[in-house]
Structure 1
Amino acid sequence: MTATIVYPPAAEDRTFSSSFPRLSLAPAGTDPALLDGAWWPRSRDLAAELPELTAALDPLWGRITRVTVNPTFWPVIPRKVPVQGHVVHVGWFEPEQDPHKLLLFSYTTGRWDLLVIPPQTDPSTAAWLLAEAADPARSLTASGLMQGAELFRAAAEADWDLVRETVWDSEGGHSARPWPPHRVGSLVTQTQRPTEGM
């Protein structure tokens, strides 16, 4: 599978910088599909996020002049956003547009559909979504990919539970010392020890 991941021109370490959009695009010349890639914004503030995104896409797709979203996940939808010497008009459609999708329109070239990965998504799930949305063989909708991401996350947690159970058994079960707190998203939780007899 090949995909275009947009990086800053001088990126040495190929990691996502804090001042460049986290973006993956389907390879140029692939057959049209339901999605043209994915975008992982840092917030749900369209006025702050769109200038960075359109600045990255304008050289590739032509000047982006209009964007539409579904308001389900966007608390404020500005009507216009100034972007590098021009204005991007922002619209919204509730029932007609997938809530996990952003539509971008270029006056001269056409339309592109991007999966919008929620800003709070953990990096491993976001990386999976970025790759899947840019896969030339992709056939899922944006919401379908988000459902797939939930299965991906659940499988990763199941693997973690299997590792913990294996260690638990190897350390003698209930007499083993308690697990330290671990991070789950932005919450810190204490792993509960199984009760005796399980």
Structure 2
Amino acid sequence: MTTALAPMLSARLSLTPRTTLAGLLDGAWWPRSRDLTLEIPPLVDALAGHFGCITRVTVNPARWPVVPHKVAVAGHTVHVGWFTEQDPDKMILLSYAVGRCDLLVIPPDTEPAAAARLMASAAVPGNVLAAGVLMSDEAATGRRMRDARSGENAWETDGGAARPPLRHAIVGARMIPVPGSRRR
């Protein structure tokens, strides 16, 4: 009895264009699961044209339930290591040809719009934001967007929205002091 293997899905990857501007990240990767044994082969395959043969990968075990020591990839083996000191949102890949590739790792359950923003941000040439900073910025952006959407929904059921703020100062307006405040 033969078992058909599921076709390998391509890696969801965004790489920084080759420029003279070096940044902290070489791009972003959005895996489909937290299984490194399944996820590393398509990633290494996708990076082969840019970085050559990837031989080693390091991760922080905080984001990966199982960190295998080795992963079989077409034609060779990739050695996997883990370091708790490494940014949990970053993966480091090593190659004999190019050296090192640092990728932001976007959690598999991230909403597509948020993943797209993160992939674009991580691939900006000369980016000086660390992986953890990008992730926390995106979390804050997501909260603001959810708050804005929930505020809009509440206003719709309230009977309307507040008047928009004035865009220009009103000519001839006077400042009226508020009791208990000091004027500077």
TM-score, normalising length from structure 1?
0.74
Count residues with an aligned counterpart: 153
Gap regions ≥5 residues in structure 2: 1-7, 161-184
Amino acid at match of 2:58: T
- Aligned equivalent of 1:187: none
- Aligned equivalent of 1:162: 151
C-alpha deviations, 1:104-124, integer Å up to 9, x for none?
000121101000001111111
Rounded Cα–Cα distance in structure 2 between residues aligned with 1:27 and 1:161: 38
- Aligned equivalent of 2:35: 45
**Residue correspondence of structure 1 range 1-198 to structure 2 within 5 A:** 19-95=9-85, 97-170=86-159
Rounded Cα–Cα distance in structure 2 between residues aligned with 1:151 and 1:22: 23
Q: CA deviation at 1:84?
A: 0.9
Runs of 4+ residues deviating >6 angstroms: none
| Structure of greater relative contact order (alpha carbons < 8 Å, 6+ residues apart) | 2
2:22 aligns to what SS in structure 1? coil
Contact 2:22 2:126 in 1 (8 A): no
Name the % identity.
51
Gap regions ≥5 residues in structure 1: 1-17, 172-198
Between structure 1 and structure 2, the one with the greater Rg is 2
Q: CA deviation at 1:137?
A: 4.1
Q: CA deviation at 1:162?
A: 2.4
